[in-house]
Amino acid sequence: MNNATAEASKEKQHTVVIVGGGAAGISVASSLHKRDSSLDIAIIEPSQTHHYQPGWTMVGGGIFKPEATSKPMAAVMPGFASWYKQSVLSIGEEHNQVVLADGSKIGYQALVLAPGLELNWSGIDGLKESLGSNGVSSNYQEGMASYTWATVQNLKSGRALFSQPPIPIKCAGAPQKAMYLSSDYWLRNSVLNNIDIQFHNAGAVLFGVPDYVPALEDYIEKYGIELNYQSTLVAVNGPAHKATFRRTDPNGNTEDREIGFDMLHAVPPQRAPEFIRDSKLANEGGWLDLEDDTLRHKRHTNIFGLGDVSGTGNAKTAAAIRKQAPVVAENLLANLRNQPMKAAYLGYGSCPLTVENGRIVLAEFGYNGTLQPTFPSWINDGTKATKAAWYLKAKQLPALYWHVMLKGHEWLAKPARR
């Protein structure tokens, strides 16, 4: 056995192992360290770049520069954590270990699963091959938002299609955000009347929380957008400028319809990473099976989860992670110390709907669509488009993400109590 093989066969041990070095993984690591600086924490993350993904919509709308939305992973990875620069092959929950891509194993006392989700580009025939040319783009793809913006600027007439796949997806408002910012640009540049804008939503409603729908409908009318519900993008032919949508009627019957386009902003269906969805840790939908309030796994008491991989009924947003991280930190430590778990997550999520350049409908809600506003209505009425919400999104949130949330400073994120 050579030295490399011998090293790989050894099982390293840490008190807390965190899978994922995105917003969720680093935030919860910092929150844990803030509460107990003696903890031995490891983070497993293969990526060399950390992305501020909420900024990609703004890049696609010409608001942010692409370079403002990423940093080297080494610049944000906490110095107190052991960093394993590998992907995960599987979770050996029965043996309290994580198996890495090279076959090595890492043991844990407590495990936090925060690997995010997977964009299933192959779920739409021809989409992956079409991206980045012939007017086909997606702000969900790393580096593609700049092409979205270039396409929007170059379009003077024709048809623009915007699609939304079945939920759950990362930031369910993002498909609409791209549409509104594009429409606003066309309006300001006096070409809106020359463009046929269509929104094809696999769902049955414009937005899942009814309180915010009237404000969004005002902008749908303002921009003259044609709404198509239960219309799912299933195929793209970029060179032919054709998109195929599957329409489902109230009786469940389906019909495919091919539509020509000059611009297509497509969003792929999404799912949990394979090592989660094909494991015993997943629920029936393939997502991580967690208790809604404690964020602990329903069957394994030393496993917790947060972020986009979670099977809880909240919106998958960075704002949700901001509220989840302190809950996981508190409850994980209580679990290690054989104390009762007292912190509760109430399903908070936030979706700043960029309805125009300068105004946002700031949707803030929890489980079952319960409104959970952060600010009083005299500062920002979230059910209406406001300049205050735009200022928060465009000027404050990026700095709060990099310098507050990732550092374990829990601004307006105190957990509820059980």
C-alpha distances in Å from residue 108, one per residue of 39, 128, 290, 291, 325: 12, 38, 19, 21, 19
What three-state secondary structure class fits 265? strand
Cα–Cα nearest to 104, from 219, 177, 7, 182: 7
Q: What's the rounded Cα separation, in Å, for the pair 142 and 53?
A: 9
Bridge partners (DSSP) listed for residue 14: 108
Q: Specify the DSSP class assigned to residue 297.
A: B
Q: Are 123 and 268 in contact (CB under 8 A)?
A: yes
Label the pairing between strands 97-100 and 118-119. Answer: unpaired
Q: How far apart are CA 115 and CA 303, in angstroms?
A: 14
Exposure string for 402-418, b = 16+ CB within 10 A, e = fewer: bebbbbbebeebebeee
Output the six-digit token pair for 312. Answer: 């809880």
Q: Strand 41-44 to strand 82-84: parallel, antiparallel, or no bridges (unpaired)? A: parallel
The one catalytic residue in 26, 119, 351, 404 is 351
Q: Give which of 53, 46, 20, 26 is closest to 329, Cα–Cα.
A: 26
Selecting among 88, 171, 216, 281, the annotated active-site residue is 171
DSSP 237: E
Active site residue 351: yes
Pair of tokens at residue 326: 């302190």
Q: Active-site residue numbers?
A: 171, 351
